[in-house]
Chain A
Amino acid sequence: MKKLILIFFMLPLPLLAQLSSFSANGYVKYLFSTSKFPFVNERLNDHLVHARLNTRWYPAEPITAAVEVRMRAYYGDSVNKMPNFLDQIKSHHEYIQLDDVLWDRNKSIGYAQVDRVWLNYSQNSWEATLGRQRIAWGTALVWNVIDLFNPQSILDFDYEEKPGADAIRIQYYTGAVSKVELAVKPGKTEKRTIAAAHFSINAFEYDFHGIAGIRNDRWILGGAWAGAIHKAGFRGEFLVSEAPEPLPTLSSYSIFPNAPSLFQNKKPVIGAVLSGDYTFSNSLYILTEVLFNSNGKIKNAGLFYSQALQAGMLSPSRWSLFQEISYDITPLLRGSFYAIFNPNDKSSVIVPQLTWSIATNLDLTLIGFFTSGKHFSEWGDFGNSVFGRVKYSF
């Protein structure tokens, strides 16, 4: 693996980039963070250098190949003070990992991974993609309940590309903006296999989506739409799945072995998102989203994070409310502010952010991450962090 990455970084990219059949871009970021978590005595200060290289190769008209590599070097207190730090930053794939721990020392870890590697064949109305890719069907901007293959969290702000899934995807375009498709992410057991069919159509100036498939050995049905009411964006998603069978390993994911599980309920599980946004002519932008999870908890949601993750739920709580407001303070300085609020246990996270375009390809971002709530509430045990980030894109 090390050799593979080494070879990749030694490719004569500037030379290759001159060929129109090859392109490369990426970025280098430095992120400083200082955090205080309720369950760690001291404040944790950390440094992260994060580099990314995206490459595309177009060997023939219908074929596109992509390889994208991500390398992170951590130095700081979290490396040895946070439990299972390495496990938390690693990605986990069913068959092939394509990653490497470059070094693992007391206060420092280097980790590289290939998070996209796919081959696409596109001819007439047909398209097939094989490999580590993103299959993003959702229409909402914060929570996507119909993104079965690669659920992700808005809180992981430093991973803009989001994780990929090892899958086979076949698409057939029935029109300019309509298609049917089939996607399969094979797993070593039936429970870990995800397979789904998807269609999208465009009518009345709306996009409509429908999906049907199998996840965790349970049938799922879902749909989504995206359109506008007057000039405001209006979108939503819903997903209904058979009541999950309690997985035998689940109790170990809870802090208390006998704690109630997310899977006690024998009724079908409904997840739904409603989303609206509006941009004013002075650049003021507002985005509101609501997430509902019929199996979510109204108390002590914080205890069910691992179970929710295991079940592919985006939140362990019954209701989640998201509100964002952002504004261009100057053309080069954008301020934004978002909050996620749990109306059941009254816990919340507030995330203010300032992004300054220092130069054409250089951005400075300051982000705060402030939580409040009781112990075991959804957000109560997350602590507070402040981040500073410099990003150079090439």
Chain B
Amino acid sequence: MRTLYSAVLCICLLLSASQSYAKTPKDIVKKANDLWHGKSSISEGSMTVIRPGWSRTISTKSWMLEPDYAMILITGPAKDKGTVTLKRKNEIWNWIPAVQRVIKIPPSMMLQPWMGSDFTNDDLVRESSIVDDYTHSLIGEEKIGNYDCYKIKLVPKPEAGVVWGKVLMWISKKGYLELKTEFYDEDGSLVKSMIGNKIKTMGGRTIPTHLEMIPANKPGKKTVLDYKSITFNVKIKPSFFSERNMKRAR
């Protein structure tokens, strides 16, 4: 139970707020990033950890109001179904329907990777930094599938405290879709790649609805996020994120 919060955060990882315009490499990254962002959202999705010989899927429905409020209902698997996580600013509570009990979750329990997921704590918090904590340069143009893409190199600013040596991003010219991202360590070796596909229009935006995080040199291993639905900028107030609604979420 205690490790579920990070899993559901993963599924909702790509959501936060702002707008953008021009076409410097930094602006392109910001536009790709902003595609996932809305002041508020309601989404349904799943995360699947795939390993040689086994896989496990967790699915959720979540309500978010950036940056402080979230409510996440686990809709599968059966043994965890109905568990709800409520986040208000720095505090997190779980509702365990089997024992009709609210449990306050300490900070050390929050970011445990679910089932050894390939999405890490850094992926979860990266949204705040991907634009501001890197220096961006356009290093070429390449085709990913049917999409002409900008290839952008991101080098962390010395003071940013980012774990990567560099990050490469392929962002489509049309629609600013982040279709591929490669993460390199400080020695320049590829650590993992993220691939975005199954591009669909959801909640009025065209986005990759299937994201795969693939660790390098680990055949048969990956973690997949699938979005079933997303609605952006829904009308929910901070007061929606309450103990009462946590018990009634479905």
- Among A232-264, those with CB < 8 Å from B are 232-235
Judge whether B125 is part of the interface by a CB distance below 8 angstroms.
Answer: no
Q: How far is the CA of A230 from the CA of B90 in the complex (A)?
A: 12
Interface string of A213-240 (1 = CB under 8 A from B): 0000000000000111011111100000
CA A284 – CA B86 in complex, angstroms? Answer: 24
The answer to whether the Cβ of B45 comes within 8 Å of any Cβ in the partner chain is: no
Chain A residues bordering chain B, tally (CB within 8 A): 53
Check: A280 CB closer than 8 A to any chain B CB.
yes
The answer to whether A205 touches B90, judged by C-beta atoms less than 8 angstroms apart, is: yes
* Shortest CB distance A38–B (Å): 32
Query: Is A393's CB under 8 angstroms from B78's CB?
Result: yes
Q: Provide the bound-state CA to CA distance between A115 and B38, in Å.
A: 44
Secondary structure call for the A interface: strand
A23 interface contact, C-beta 8 A: yes
Nearest A-chain residue to B55, judged by Cβ: A360
Tell me the B59-77 residues at the A interface (CB within 8 Å). Answer: 77
Q: Is the CB of A227 within 8 A of B104?
A: yes
Q: List residues of chain B with CB within 8 A of the CB of A226.
A: 103-104
**Distance of A53 Cα from B54 Cα, bound (Å):** 28
Q: Are A179 and B243 in contact (CB under 8 A)?
A: yes
Q: How many A-B residue pairs have CB under 8 A?
A: 109
Interface-side segment among B139-147, B173-181, B234-242: B234-242
Any A CB within 8 A of the CB of B3 = yes
Give A354 to B121 CA distance when docked, in angstroms.
27
Whether A127 touches B108, Cβ cut-off 8 Å, given contacts A160-B99, A202-B91, is no
Give A141's nearest chain B residue, CB to CB: B103
Interface centre among B93, B103, B104, B121 (most CB of A within 10 A): B104
Interface size class of chain B, counting residues whose CB lies under 8 Å from the partner chain = 35 or more
Question: How far does the Cβ of A180 sit from chain B's closest Cβ, in whole Å?
Answer: 13
State whether A393 and B77 are in contact (beta carbons under 8 Å apart), knowing that A136-B101, A232-B106, A232-B108 are contacts in the complex.
Answer: yes
Given A177-B88, A331-B49: A25 in contact with B107 (beta carbons within 8 A): no
Measured between alpha carbons, how far is A162 from B97 in the docked complex, in Å? 12
Residues A173 and B244 in contact, CB atoms below 8 Å apart? yes
CA distance A360 to B109 in the complex (A): 23
Query: What CA separation (Å) do A138 and B109 show in the bound complex?
Result: 19
Contact pick for A122, options B51, B93, B109, B244, CB 8 Å? B244
How far is the CB of A205 from the nearest CB of chain B, in Å?
6
Instruction: Select which of A58, A141, A162, A177 is within 8 A of B93 by beta carbon.
Output: A177
A72 an interface residue at 8 Å Cβ cutoff? Answer: no
Give Cα distance in the complex from A230 to B56, angstroms. Answer: 32
Give which listed residue, B49, B106, B121, contacts A233 with CB less than 8 A. Answer: B106
- Across-interface contacts of B241 in A (CB, < 8 A): 176
A136-B101, A283-B3 known; 5 new pairs, CB 8 Å cut-off, are: A27-B79, A134-B99, A231-B107, A360-B57, A391-B79
Residues of A within 8 A of B (CB): 23, 25, 27, 54, 58, 64, 122, 125, 127, 133-136, 139, 141, 160-162, 173, 175-177, 179, 202, 205, 207, 226-228, 230-235, 277-281, 283, 285, 328, 330-332, 357, 360-361, 363, 391, 393-394
Q: Can you give 16 contacting A-B residue pairs, CB < 8 Å? A: A25-B81, A125-B244, A133-B100, A134-B100, A173-B242, A177-B91, A177-B243, A207-B104, A227-B104, A231-B106, A281-B112, A283-B3, A330-B116, A331-B49, A331-B116, A357-B56
Query: A-B pairs with the 5 shortest C-beta distances?
Result: A233-B106, A331-B116, A231-B108, A393-B79, A176-B242
